Amino acid sequence: MLFPKVNVDLWSRIGEDMRTDAFKVQAVDWLAGAVRVETETFDDMGPVDEDPRWESRLAFHDYLETAFPLVHGKLKLTKVNTYGLLYEWEGSDASLKPILMAAHQDVVPVNPDTVQDWTHPPYSGYYDGTRIWGRGSNDDKSGLIGTISAVEILLKNGFKPTRTVVMPFGFDEEGGGLRGASSLAKVLEERYGKDGFAFIIDEGGGFTEQYGTIFATPGVAEKGSFSIRMDLATKGGHSSVPPEHTSIGILSALLTHMESHPFERQIDRTTPTYQMFQCLAQHSYSMPSSLREVIRHSLHSDEALRKAESVLLKDRVYRALVSTTQAVDIIHGGVKSNALPEEAWAVVNHRVKITSSVEATVSRDISLLKPLVEHFNLTFSAFGKPVPLSSPLSLSYPSEGSLKLSYVGGINPPAPITPWDLKDKNNETAPFRMLAGTIRSVFHERRKSADGQDAQDVVVSPGMPTVGTDTRWYWNLTKHVLRYSHHDSGNSTNPFEKAHTVDEFLDADNLVETIKFFLTLILNADESREF
């Protein structure tokens, strides 16, 4: 565990205040107010100076300025590309590398057809005495509010940092950060230089109970991501004289073929996910002994590794962590019930495993689709280039249509791996060790019994979130990228289980602990001289 030493009295005094009902009410008000401002990001949004849907961010900026007056009165604020927020809290020692605490302002849209399915309206910020409900309460306004409120509290208590604290808040993370974090990254590199930060922390893995033990899994790696659009074009006409397969039927067959052929799912010993499994085997209270043994033996036995896979990969989240994934997320076709659809299209999202590449994933997609393209007598082009077919179309058998693959949005390769080994005491792993100690101390403090005895502990293991983050734009700023949200996922291996769906919520107690986590992280980083 790692507790502040120089500022221990300050930390203890603030901690006492944070245990009160009055503070919980304040924390709930902060997050609920943020949820009430709709900051949706859509896939088809245009430039920031043209599309009026971006303007919701201005209302959010106004809210932050009202809710956090000390932050806005004492920190330097730069607005980047109109809606990106860059707060800088200058420290007294310029020789110390700053820390960067990132979050994003935006949320995924609420499907209008599901509004009636919400327990409480999605932008109400309703508090039922236990939970704050609404879009963004979990992903990621809780992270943004947790960060900025920690700074507000420290300012209120007279703290002056030695190490500079920087908070960039992007505005289109749910669209890949193409306009927000990408623009913020350029400004940050101009001001602080390459490798100018001690570490970056952004949303990511939380803590959860697995096999009877609480594990926290900060992300030290991130899968790559990109989406492809599949455009299928065929001849139109009256639906009374249909062909054997319409464009919708052919596209459906192609998509079904993809889903029927998932990417290889195997555990790689070189990855942080494998180290997490080893940690589970070592520290879990209730893991079946047979599974514990095969995980341990898998260090040197391929047979044991395959046996471990047969059990572990029954979990959908674990399967996603170890493999490249594909998800058919959008499909569209047809305009009239009695007219043959001339066009149909779909979007497939890929998350690329850290031992693969975007190029390998694209190559595999093309190879997988080619036999069906030939079967349906189509022409085939991928990313602006024709794809040669083994049975070229001839004049005797003209094409029945065409399939075109293209990219949609950004193309992100897998991230570099952050140095993480807790046993390695050199400076290369100091930021991760500091984070691990902070997680344990905050978790411990919130669960102490009245007489001060320990009630529960948490084991910290390297992890990897299944989702992408704005940190993809910040790789030049440091090699210490930490992806962690101090969220309690219960007994689920998926910290984002309640994000991007109906009835998103966050427990109020979890919010208070999140604020305490960021506050403690700032103080611990301020005192460290290992990085």
Terminal C-alpha separation, the chain? 18
Q: Residue type for 358, please?
A: V
Cβ 443 vs Cβ 458: under 8 Å:
yes
Q: Beta-carbon neighbour count of residue 210 at 10 Å?
A: 24
350 is in an annotated binding site: no
Active site residues: 106, 173
139 is in an annotated binding site: yes
* Tokens encoding 330: 């959008």
Q: Beta-carbon neighbour count of residue 217 at 10 Å?
A: 29
174 is in an annotated binding site: yes
At 88, phi and psi to the nearest 5? -130, 120
* Tokens encoding 119: 């327990």
* Tokens encoding 364: 């595999």
Q: What angle do CA 84, 85, 88 make, to 5 degrees?
A: 145
Residue with token string 């939380």: 206
At 9, phi and psi to the nearest 5? -65, -45
Residue from 331, 325, 336, 326 nearest 252 by CA = 331
At 259, phi and psi to the nearest 5? -65, -30
Bridge partner list, 460:
216
Q: Which residues contact 16 (CB under 8 A, 6 or more apart)?
A: none
3 state DSSP class of 363? helix
104 is in an annotated binding site: yes
Q: How far apart are CA 268 and CA 264, in angstroms?
A: 11
Residue with token string 């509004």: 115
203 is in an annotated binding site: no
Q: Which residues contact 48 (CB under 8 A, 6 or more apart)?
A: 54, 81, 82, 83, 179
Annotated binding-site members: 104, 139, 174, 202, 500
Annotated binding-site members for Zn(2+): 104, 139, 174, 202, 500
